[in-house]
A and B are shown apart, each in its own frame.
Chain A
Amino acid sequence: MFRARSPWVYFINTGSCNGCDIEVLAIQNPRYSAERYGVLRVGSPRHADVLVVTGPITKRMEDRLTMIYDQIPNPKAVVAVGSCPTSNGIFDGGYSLTGPLDTVIPVDVYVMGCPPRPLNILSGIRTAAKMLDSKRKGRGARPTARFDEAMSKETVIDPKFRSSDNVPEAGR
């Protein structure tokens, strides 16, 4: 019951056009005032409960995304904001994209729109927060890279490499 009331959000942009980003940022402003629901934007994935992803997944961001997903302690939930992570949106067919978010990491809530309105994003985050309680407290084999290590690694793109195969089973 505490989880639903204090979702801390880590926000990652995986190649979005900024339209969704500014709407995600806008939920903090006085009109939408996300803090009244305890929604807080945190700077380190270790502190987060909810991962908010905007943008189609570009090849170079894909492994960063899975790394960050792994760094979030259980229980965790993922919110896909916008048409882009949901279905690649307008960029579908681009050579530098690895496809919708749910082929990379498990997604719990989809917020549709291009971009969705801030209130929809806020309600998506709250829906995800309510799901946290029912999540299994799994403890998979997880990489233990530090945040800075994950960030300073060179990206290696191998066409055969799909890190979605390596995703530890998340509490779904």
Chain B
Amino acid sequence: MAEVNDRGFAKLKVPIGPSHPALEEPARFLFEVEGEKVIDVDYEIGYNHRSIERLCQERPFSKIVYLVERICGICSHAHPLNHVERVEDIADIEVPERAKYIRTIYAELERIHSHMLWAGIAGEEIGYHSLFMYTWREREKVMDLFEMLSGNRVMHGCNKIGGVKWNISDEQARSALGVLSYLDTAADKITKSVLKDSSIAERGKGVGCLSKEDAIRLGAVGPNARASGVAEDTRVMCKYAAYGDFDLEPQIAKDGDVVAQALVRLAELKQSIRLTEELIANLPDGPIQVEYGEIPPGRSVGRVEAPRGELIHYTETNGTRFFERIKIRAPTLANIPSYVPKFLGCQVADIPIIAASIDPCFSCSDRVTVIKDGKRKIVSAQELKTGRI
């Protein structure tokens, strides 16, 4: 079963995934371990590939917003937001201010819920169930807020080309402010427990380090890069939606380890809560959607800061009811290469928390790797278009 090396340690091959309690989604890591030490890692994604990009070319415009919303259930606002912005860019649709603000409110609430979710999952991965229970209890408040605003907990269905579907009434805005101030204290409590708790420090300090050079070289994005000191935030750089009206500082940390990742996300959590409060307070009046006519042929590419990092959409139209091409680069795909320096030399016990530390979302990023008879095969664009694989 296992070979034994010269120091008397057995070398074991430990598969993690595609279905494993530490991974919420299918992806496969094959670790080679020596005692408790990881000496090699190989990863394989693609279990989650659902042919979304191709479905996007087969369906009329009106259905695509629903489809891109279901690329990822956690970033269920970032994807459609980027998508409708691309179409609006191509067709030169001027979105009303209020719609922009509402979009931003949803985007920030999504960041709040996603970062709380991450804190809970990270707690679960290091075997700290109480942290999971606590953050997920508070997260329910955000879900309630979503339900109040859009009628749904996860899939908000808020974006449409030319604006948003759901307005925010004064009453809703008031109760949202109440929830946000409650969340603010909850975020403080979580931050305090992460900073103070000795068992979290034991499991997180110095684990899964990513240096700044590596982060830049491997193209890490989002909180993963910011935890290593790369001060990049698409919200600040691109000023899409209503972000141009507010001053934002990218939240960074230096160490690049798990605790730094947690602190960056918790700082962003606080930042998002404050930003949402400001957004709600300054909500402009006016319509929430505009009519639009034909969508001309054209192409557009743009970036949005999803909770996990920079999300790129490329959209090409050809003047018909169908898209010529939609290409999505999800943040996790950019973050996966940074797994390698993080995993090498770590302990088996650290694998789950390191895997969780980049906040992976494989459903966003899965590609096709078709394996026929055990041999990998790259699929050509032509084959993809005809669907003959």
Contact = CB atoms under 8 A, between A and B. Distances in A.
Answer whether A and B touch in the complex at a CB cut-off of 8 Å: yes
B68 to A, nearest CB: 10
Interface in B221-237: none
Contact of A155 (B30, B117, B371): B371
Nearest to B376: A154
A154 B371 contact: yes
A18 B50 contact: no
Contacts of A154: 371, 374
A91 interface: yes
B111 interface: no
Given A28-B132, A60-B46, 18 more contacts: A15-B26, A16-B73, A17-B50, A17-B76, A19-B70, A21-B73, A29-B140, A64-B19, A64-B26, A90-B70, A91-B50, A91-B52, A95-B389, A96-B50, A114-B70, A155-B371, A156-B373, A158-B372
B54 interface: yes
A66 to B, nearest CB: 12
A151 B18 contact: yes
B341 interface: no
Contacts of A152: 13, 15, 30
Contact of B137 (A13, A29, A61, A95): A29
Interface string B313-352: 0000000000000000000000000000000000000000
A39 B210 CA distance: 38
Contact of B24 (A25, A58, A90, A96): A25
Interface string A1-45: 000000000001111111111110110111100000000010100
A85 interface: no
Contacts of A93: 55, 58
A25 B46 CA distance: 23
Nearest to B51: A94
A58 to B, nearest CB: 6
10 contacts: A16-B48, A21-B24, A22-B73, A22-B117, A26-B143, A29-B133, A31-B140, A55-B48, A95-B387, A115-B153
Contact of A30 (B14, B70, B136): B136
A115 B153 CA distance: 8
B371 A157 contact: yes
Given A20-B73, A94-B55, A115 B154 contact: yes
Contacts of B46: 60
Closest A-B pairs by Cβ, 7 of them:
A19-B73, A94-B51, A29-B136, A18-B73, A43-B21, A152-B15, A151-B15
A131 interface: no
Interface of B: 13-15, 17-21, 24-26, 28, 30, 46-52, 54-55, 58, 66-67, 70-74, 76, 117, 121, 132-133, 136-137, 139-140, 143, 153-155, 361, 363, 368, 370-374, 384, 387, 389
B73 A30 contact: no
Interface in A46-100: 55-56, 58, 60-61, 64, 68, 89-91, 93-97
Contacts of A89: 70
A157 B170 CA distance: 55
A15 B73 contact: no
Contact of A13 (B25, B72, B374): B25
A138 B74 CA distance: 40
A32 to B, nearest CB: 9
The residue in B14, B363, B368 that gathers the most chain A C-beta atoms within 10 A of its C-beta is B363
A156 B372 CA distance: 5
A12 B55 CA distance: 24
Given A18-B24, A21-B24, A60-B47, A68 B140 contact: no
A39 B44 CA distance: 32
